Amino acid sequence: MNLKDLWLAIIKDLSKDVQRANVITWFKNTALLSAEEGVLTIGLPLPVFLNWHAQNYAGITLKTAQKHNPDIKEIAYEVDITLSEKDPRVIDLLKYFPEKTTRKLPGKPEVKLSGGVISKMFNQRYSLDNFVIAPENRLAHAAAMTVSKYPGENYNPLIVYGGVGLGKTHLLQAIGREILRNDPSKMVVYCTTENFTNELIENIQLRNMNKFRNKYRKIDVFIIDDIQFIANKDRSQEEFFHTFNTLYESGKQVIISSDRPPHELNLMSERLVSRFESGMIVDVKMPDYESRLAILRNKCQEAQVFINEKVLEFIAFNIDTSVRALLGVLNQVIAHYELENLAPTVKSVSEIIKRSKKEVKMVGFIKDDPTPHRAVTLDQLTDYVSEYYTIPKSEVLGESRAREYLLPRQVIMYLAKTKLGFSLAKIGQALGNRNHTTVMHAIGKMQDMMRNDRQLLCNVNAIAKEAGIH
Ligand code: ADP
Ligand code: MG
């Protein structure tokens, strides 16, 4: 099925759940741009469609698309304001959804845009809310908040600089999204410096420079990421300089990121540097330990996985180069967890970290003796389990039926029986002289619970692995 037919099939299906008027309004002049590697890229004719689609139709579009092609895993949007009735990729919706009554929607001001600006969909993952504020980036975050509320006013241009993986793209995209959310008729363009340069070269070759200039000069908010890549590209610098000036002089917001402060950028034009320096310049640095931990906790919550606090502390303690590296480790940990049903432990995570980093700091995380001993006695197993749940061994062996002690006790009983083959009587005896029927019930209960509680299953597997009895 070609892209156009697929798109028509999807829209027809969708229309069973979406009112005709909405289908016509929001799917008009849209097109399926590509379906590659599980990603369906949908072209939208106006920036104002972006938020609307993302919030209202992304889920149902994905679900419907999957009915036609189960390989599709994701939906991406791209604004391409050249999309119109005349475009061969666009479907004439009125032909397939003929009007039944002629009802006019209350007149809304028409949004007119110049042709040809392509703005990549803002990544839904980046928002100002999920940016963790640390002392090292507080100012950058505050400036981002202000600019997203009052674009083109006091902080113009806004320049965010700092090393790789420290949140520049996150902030830039979040500002763009927020501005669009506040006013969907604004034309917000986010582009990487690479995009800008490539597009420029293309347009020079096609002798389209007037078109190129016009479209960049008609936007309201211009966000350009990683401006350092413009060094040594004289023609790009020149073109950027003109674009920047036009926008700046007509009070349009410009937001720029860079890996270094403006005066270190080696730009040809001193005037541009001084313009940059007259704006708001903020930097982002590596967040401190507490903030790193907060970032990890947030991400776990977002991903809806529960990871032992000790393990998160261990990652935060060890990864201090960039937030990207920090999240990279967390993602690997989560992947292992999901693939193997095995809750991560400090030990297993240190193996992951070792792959990318020579030295792993263990101080304060595990006992000095790093070689795991196989737990063969009930006493050793009890040690492992109490340590895992960080509770005193005496309580595990004691009388208390509080859940925090009861559960570890049941875990020991279960592992002692299923992994080490001890008799019920022996297990009962070792665990504070309990009756063998108590042990039997506990094991049955554990089996039930593990069937329904994946978290518990993962924890029990992790303990067994640490104790060398997996
Ligand atoms: P840069 O553009 O500076 O190289 P990114 O913006 O791509 O870095 O950030 C890398 C990753 O770290 C992204 O997934 C981003 O969401 C995340 N990140 C960076 N800083 C923070 C923060 N303060 N709070 C939450 N996530 C962050
Ligand atoms: Mg970036």
Q: Letter for the amino acid at 52?
A: W
Q: Letter for the amino acid at 88?
A: P
Give the mean pLDDT of 45-62.
83
CA–CA separation, 282 vs 287, rounded Å? Answer: 15
Q: Which ligand is nearest to the CA of 285?
A: 1
Residue 119: its pLDDT value, please? Answer: 45
Confidence of residue 184 (pLDDT cuts 50, 70, 90): confident
Q: C-alpha dihedral over 182, 188, 191, 197, to 10 degrees?
A: -160
Q: Which atom of ligand 1 is nearest to the CA of 170?
A: 6
CA of 9 to the centre of ligand 1 (A): 38
Give the mean pLDDT of 162-184.
93
CA of 129 to the centre of ligand 1 (A): 13
Residue 84: its pLDDT value, please? Answer: 85
Q: Which residues line ligand 1 (CB under 6 A)?
A: 126, 131-132, 137, 164-170, 287, 295, 323-324, 327
Q: Ligand 1 pocket test: which of 170, 192, 225, 288 has the largest number of ligand atoms within 8 Å of its C-beta?
A: 170
Q: Which atom of ligand 1 is nearest to the CA of 131?
A: 24
SS3 content of the chain, % helix, strand, coil (to 5): 55, 10, 35
Q: Which atom of ligand 1 is nearest to the CA of 141?
A: 23
Burial tier of 364 (Cβ tally within 10 Å: 0-12, 13-18, 19+) = exposed
pLDDT over 80 (residue 257): yes
Q: Which ligand is nearest to the CA of 164?
A: 1
Nearest to 173 by CA among 153, 134, 147, 135: 147
Give the mean pLDDT of 319-335.
93
Residue 186: its pLDDT value, please? Answer: 87
Report for 56-65, 168-177, 452-461: range of highest mean pLDDT? 168-177
Nearest to 218 by CA among 242, 185, 243: 243
Q: Ligand 1 pocket test: which of 193, 299, 324 has the largest number of ligand atoms within 8 Å of its C-beta?
A: 324
- Quote the crossing angle between the two packed helices 168-182 and 138-149, to the nearest 10°: 20
Beta-sheet strand order (sheet of 74-80): 31-36, 39-44, 74-80, 118-120
pLDDT tens digits, 356-372: 776 777 766 654 334 44
Contacts of 128 by beta carbon, 8 Å cutoff, 6+ apart: 141, 144, 145, 148, 171, 174, 175, 178
DSSP three-state, residue 32: strand
Report for 92-96, 148-152, 396-400: range of highest mean pLDDT? 148-152
Nearest to 301 by CA among 343, 342, 334: 334
More confident residue, 341 or 407: 407
Q: Whose CA is nearest to atom 1 of ligand 1?
A: 165
Q: Ligand 1 pocket test: which of 125, 159, 161, 166 has the largest number of ligand atoms within 8 Å of its C-beta?
A: 166
CA of 331 to the centre of ligand 2 (A): 18
Residue 102: its pLDDT value, please? Answer: 33
Place of tokens 């040690």: 383
pLDDT over 60 (residue 114): no
Q: Which ligand is nearest to the CA of 299?
A: 1
Q: Whose CA is nearest to atom 14 of ligand 1?
A: 324
Q: From start to end of 7-72, where are the E strands?
A: 31-36, 39-44
Q: Which atom of ligand 1 is nearest to the CA of 132?
A: 24
Q: Which atom of ligand 1 is nearest to the CA of 163?
A: 3
Share of the chain above pLDDT 90, in %: 49
CA–CA separation, 386 vs 138, rounded Å? Answer: 40
More confident residue, 458 or 30: 30
Q: Beta strands 118-120 and 253-258: pairing type? A: unpaired
Q: How many CB atoms lie within 10 A of CB 118?
A: 15
Give the mean pLDDT of 163-174.
96
> Buried b vs exposed e over 389-425: b needs ≥16 C-beta within 10 Å?
bebeeebbbeeeeeeebebbbbbbbbbbbebbebebe
Does 157 sit behind a cis peptide bond, omega within 30 degrees of 0 on the bond before it? Answer: yes
Residue 51: its pLDDT value, please? Answer: 77
Q: Ligand 1 pocket test: which of 288, 323, 327, 329 has the largest number of ligand atoms within 8 Å of its C-beta?
A: 323
Residue 118: its pLDDT value, please? Answer: 36
What mean pLDDT value characterizes the chain? 86
pTM reported for the whole predicted model: 0.64
Give the mean pLDDT of 289-294.
94
pLDDT over 90 (residue 43): yes
Residue 390: its pLDDT value, please? Answer: 85
CA–CA separation, 177 vs 51, rounded Å? Answer: 8
Q: How many CA atoms lie within 13 A of 332 on its CB side?
A: 16
CA–CA separation, 220 vs 233, rounded Å? Answer: 25
Nearest to 256 by CA among 137, 159, 162: 159
More confident residue, 447 or 390: 447
CA–CA separation, 216 vs 175, rounded Å? Answer: 19
Q: How many CA atoms lie within 13 A of 318 on its CB side?
A: 30
Place of tokens 């363009």: 189
Q: Letter for the amino acid at 350?
A: S
